[in-house]
């Protein structure tokens, strides 16, 4: 049986699709339908734990006055979720629309919590940048002045706004799902 492609153009597949096929090996690696469903649920659970662990680490590091390490952990939290979303979209599945249509409350709540954790991480970083010291005293470098200091200040404010936008987007999704489901 021929494999369907994400683009729907026969054998023309992007490098991303070829990489994902090779990495996932979906046709052979996941057993029967029940086993595949359980494994996909387990992977989603693991992804969720990884995202929350990375954001928790980012928050702890930000509270003690670190600036670069929390940013790295936020990026590590976002990367797997972004890759999963891209993978789904390449196969014509819109996770946001699905959550809105089905009322997947756990997904919606997780989105809000993740957004708020990102806000807290960048808020703790903002304390370090603007108050010239961390929330909890620990050996740390002070943010530099000048051009670098301005970039850091803009980055922490932008991070807070991005986290807030994520949380608001999650709330909008919850509202749309409530209208669609009930």
Distances (CA, A) of 100 to 31, 93, 111, 157, 175: 30, 13, 12, 29, 8
Residue 36 is predicted with a pLDDT of: 79
With 70 as the cut, is the pLDDT of residue 101 above it? Answer: yes
Taking only the tens place, the pLDDT of each residue in 65-89 is 899 999 999 999 999 888 888 888 8
**How far is Cα 109 from Cα 103, in angstroms, rounded to an integer?**
11
**How far is Cα 176 from Cα 3, in angstroms, rounded to an integer?**
35
pTM, two decimal places: 0.68
With 60 as the cut, is the pLDDT of residue 24 above it? Answer: yes
Question: To which residue do tokens 């952990």 refer?
Answer: 73
């Amino acid at each position: 049986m021929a494999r369907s492609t994400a683009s729907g153009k026969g054998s023309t597949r992007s490098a991303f699709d070829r990489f994902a096929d090779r990495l996932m090996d979906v046709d052979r690696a996941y057993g029967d339908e029940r086993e595949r469903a359980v494994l996909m649920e387990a992977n989603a659970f693991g992804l969720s734990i990884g995202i929350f662990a990375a954001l928790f680490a980012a928050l702890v590091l930000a509270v003690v006055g670190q600036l670069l390490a929390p940013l790295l952990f936020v990026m590590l939290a976002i990367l797997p979720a972004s890759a999963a979303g891209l993978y789904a979209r390449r196969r014509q599945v819109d996770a946001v629309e699905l959550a809105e249509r089905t009322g997947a409350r756990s997904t919606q709540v997780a989105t809000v919590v993740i957004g708020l954790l990102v806000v807290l991480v960048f808020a703790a970083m903002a304390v370090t940048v603007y108050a010239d010291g961390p929330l909890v005293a620990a050996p740390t470098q002070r943010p530099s002045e000048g051009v670098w200091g301005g970039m850091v200040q803009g980055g922490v404010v932008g991070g807070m706004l991005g986290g807030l936008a994520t949380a608001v987007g999650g709330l909008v999704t919850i509202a749309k799902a409530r209208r669609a489901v009930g």
